[in-house]
């Protein structure tokens, strides 16, 4: 329905402040395709795509998807670019094992803060500028490797490069804005997984680049420095592509839409408060620390583990390490897809159980990896462990978009920060100093992952229930609208600022599982008045 059709009340749009101020009304049925718009893919009422076509580059949805995941992929490459070159770097800079361990912790710590900030940035200025600013301002930190001459410089530069891992937040945020909730698990899983794959690709790419540069005549201690120009240039290229080809929302860029009045500007303090107040945010902070946190830790320690424990050549150990990271290509999307599949049948409860099962299995196989004393069993357990943990990461972001609509950016940021925090914590407890051998450290980390996955049972949505409890029987609280509009005050609702959340609430009815099919709705003849 468009404004030109003369339906009742359209001439009074915006006058009383209670009507919706957008050019099109919202359908009550879950996820109806909007046929009035000219997008390449079918879209819902929020103009989010309802179909995922990975081989397409159509504007704006699929193009956004590819820009988002490749930017994130580039940042993963540069954050872990030093890891496969450590055997050369440690000789050049006279590093000790403590220095190398500290650099590993530093590389994941920087983004704890930047992921938090990134969430707020996306909420306020949009994902496009957020990504571009981060990726282009962190390019100098990558180029800085050419100046490093001792351990403290090395640790400092790895810390600064690590800030760019906040592109994870902008990537997930951007795809969540562009794709409908029914497929969001798969889309976020693909974007996140293919980005995470950078941690594996870098284990192959950087040694290759280093060897080519050496063949061209450079001495080793110079060649590794030149090699860092490759990830640095990738940063610049991706930043320019994001700026020229990207857009914040399906309908256009954020600042343009805000000026037209189509998207309300929000206050940072409010957005932050609603994220922090929601207990589920903190449960995910812990959960993600033991899926992504474990994965980041492994990226830093696995090559050394296989090299030392099984006396492999460094090159062979690097290939094994790369396969851990590369499993992300299908493992994380698989987790997102499994989450979506479970939601179709069992709704949100299905998503929660999927997450718990995958993450617990990941932890269990990690315990097995630490206890494997034969190479073949170690590789087998590592592959199963990688699938479990990475699929759990995908399943996490099948649920996160439903925890909050108003504060999605900060929520994604806090969850992502939890991942890095968990990684730093794991590295400090289990992989620093000589208290535990690496094998014991791996098993203990697996035990801790299994224990820290239990809080999934605490995630309860009044409208959908939890792992063990059903939805609330309270007739007021058991609707999606109630949950999402409770993030707005009465005064804000009167000003119509909550319209985006309303639309989202209606599109999220699919999370009831099979119950959603039986929901009977009919479009009202008069303009919709909410929460009068």
Partner 1 sequence: MEPTRLLLVSTFLTFLVSSCYGSVLFSSLKSTLIVNASPKPGQVLEAGVDKITVTWGLNQSIPAGVDSTYKTIKVKLCYAPVSQVDRAWRKTVDDLHKDKTCQFNIVARPYNSANKTLQSFEWIVERDVPTATYFIRAYAYDSEGLEVTFGQTTDAKKANNLFVINAITGRHLSLDIASICFSAFSVLALFGFFFIEKRKAKGNQGK
Contact 116, 410 (CB under 8 A): yes
Nearer to partner 1, 239 or 419 (CB): 239
Q: Which of residues 329-368 bind partner 1 (CB under 8 A)?
A: none
**Residue 226 burial by Cβ neighbours in a 10 Å radius (0-12, 13-18, 19+):** middle
Under the binding rule (CB under 8 A), the answer on residue 212 touching partner 1 is no
Biggest CA–CA distance in the chain, Å, is: 78
DSSP characters over 25-88? PPPSSTT----SS--SS-B-TT--BSS--TT---TTHHHHHHHHHHHHHHHHHHHTTTGGGHHH
Contact, 499 vs 330, CB < 8 A?
A: no
- Least distance to partner 1, CB of residue 350, Å: 28
User: Can you say whether the dihedral through the CA atoms of 402, 404, 409, 412 is positive or negative?
Assistant: negative
291 contacts 359 by C-beta, under 8 angstroms: yes
Q: Copy the structure tokens of residue 305.
A: 């583990």
Minimum CB distance to partner 1, residue 197 (Å): 15
Q: How far does CA 195 lie from the centroid of its chain?
A: 9
For the bound state, the minimum distance from the C-beta of residue 463 to partner 1, rounded and expressed in Å, comes to 40
Site string for partner 1, 104-143 (x = CB under 8 A): -------------------------x--xx--xx-xx--x
Half-sphere exposure of 37 (CA within 13 A, CB side): 20
Pick the piece of the chain touching partner 1 (CB under 8 A) from 278-286, 310-318, 393-401, 465-473: 310-318
Helix (H), strand (E), coil (C) string for 250-264: CCECHHHHHHHCCCC
Query: What's the min distance (Å) between Cβ of 313 and partner 1?
Result: 9
Q: Measured from the CB of residue 186, what is the shortest distance to partner 1 in angstroms?
A: 23
Residue pair 423/318 in contact (Cβ under 8 Å)? The answer is: no
160-179: which residues touch partner 1 (CB under 8 A)?
Answer: none
Minimum Å gap between C-beta 448 and partner 1 is 25
Distance CA 149, CA 93 (A): 6
Q: Which span sits near partner 1 by CB under 8 A: 116-124, 233-241, 440-448, 488-496?
A: 233-241
Q: Does 58 participate in binding partner 1 (rule CB under 8 A)?
A: no
Nearer to partner 1, 225 or 498 (CB): 225
Among 37, 152, 221, 437, binds partner 1 (CB under 8 A): 221
225 makes contact with partner 1 (CB under 8 A) = yes
- Figure out which of the listed residues 9, 87, 252, 527 binds partner 1, where binding follows CB under 8 A: 87
In whole angstroms, the minimum distance from the beta carbon of 465 to partner 1 comes to 38
First-residue to last-residue Cα distance in the chain? 23
Span of 51-59, 96-104, 477-485, 504-512 interacting with partner 1 by CB under 8 A? 96-104
Measured between alpha carbons, how far is 29 from 22 in angstroms, rounded to an integer? 18
Interface residues with partner 1 (CB under 8 A) are 87, 90-92, 94, 96-98, 129, 132-133, 136-137, 139-140, 143-144, 146-147, 149, 219-222, 224-226, 229, 232-233, 235-236, 239-240, 243-244, 255-256, 259, 308, 311-312, 316, 319-320, 323, 375-376, 379-380, 383
């Amino acid at each position: 329905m468009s404004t030109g059709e003369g339906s009742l009340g359209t001439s009074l749009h915006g006058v009383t402040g209670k009507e919706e101020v957008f050019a099109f009304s919202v359908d009550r049925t879950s996820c109806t395709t909007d046929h009035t718009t000219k997008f390449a893919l079918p879209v819902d009422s929020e103009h989010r795509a309802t179909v995922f076509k990975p081989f397409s580059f159509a504007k704006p949805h699929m193009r956004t998807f590819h820009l988002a995941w490749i930017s994130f992929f580039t940042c993963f490459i540069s954050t872990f670019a030093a890891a496969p070159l450590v055997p050369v770097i440690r000789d050049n800079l006279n590093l000790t094992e403590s220095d190398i361990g500290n650099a590993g912790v530093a590389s994941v710590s920087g983004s704890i803060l930047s992921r938090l900030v990134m969430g707020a940035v996306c909420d306020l200025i949009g994902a496009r500028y957020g990504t571009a600013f981060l990726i282009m301002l962190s390019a100098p930190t990558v180029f800085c490797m050419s100046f490093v001459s001792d351990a403290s410089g090395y640790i400092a530069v790895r810390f600064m490069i690590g800030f760019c891992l906040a592109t994870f937040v902008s990537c997930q945020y951007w795809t969540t804005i562009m794709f409908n909730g029914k497929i969001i698990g798969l889309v976020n899983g693909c974007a996140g997984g293919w980005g995470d794959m950078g941690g594996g690709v870098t284990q192959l790419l950087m040694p290759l680049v280093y060897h080519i540069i050496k063949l061209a005549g450079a001495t080793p201690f110079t060649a590794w420095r030149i090699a860092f120009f490759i990830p640095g240039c990738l940063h610049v290229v991706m930043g320019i592509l994001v700026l020229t080809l990207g857009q914040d929302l399906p309908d256009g860029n954020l600042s343009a839409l805000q000026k037209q009045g189509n998207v309300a500007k929000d206050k940072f303090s409010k957005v932050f408060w609603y994220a922090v107040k929601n207990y589920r945010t903190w449960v995910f902070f812990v959960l993600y620390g033991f899926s992504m946190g474990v994965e980041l830790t492994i990226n830093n320690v696995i090559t050394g583990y296989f090299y030392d424990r099984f006396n492999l050549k460094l090159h062979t150990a690097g290939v094994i390490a790369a396969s851990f990271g590369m499993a992300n290509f299908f493992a994380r999307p698989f987790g997102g897809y499994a989450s979506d599949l479970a939601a179709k049948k069992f709704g949100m409860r299905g998503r929660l159980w999927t997450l718990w099962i995958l993450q617990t299995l990941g932890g269990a196989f990690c315990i097995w990896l630490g206890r494997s004393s034969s190479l073949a069993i170690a590789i087998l357990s590592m592959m199963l462990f990688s699938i479990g943990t990475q699929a759990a990461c995908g399943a996490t972001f099948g649920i996160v978009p439903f925890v909050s609509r108003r504060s999605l950016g900060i929520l994604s940021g806090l969850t992502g920060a939890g991942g890095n925090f968990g990684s730093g914590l794991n590295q400090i407890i289990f992989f620093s100093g000589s208290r535990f051998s690496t094998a014991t450290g791996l098993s203990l980390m697996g035990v801790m992952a299994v224990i820290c996955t239990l809080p999934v049972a605490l995630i309860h949505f009044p409208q959908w229930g939890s792992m063990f409890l059903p939805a609330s029987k309270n007739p007021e609280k058991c609707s999606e609208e109630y949950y999402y509009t409770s993030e707005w005050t009465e005064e804000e609702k009167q000003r119509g600022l909550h319209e985006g959340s309303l639309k989202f609430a209606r599109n999220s009815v699919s999370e009831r599982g099979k119950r959603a099919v039986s929901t009977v709705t009919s479009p009202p003849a008069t303009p919709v008045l909410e929460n009068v």
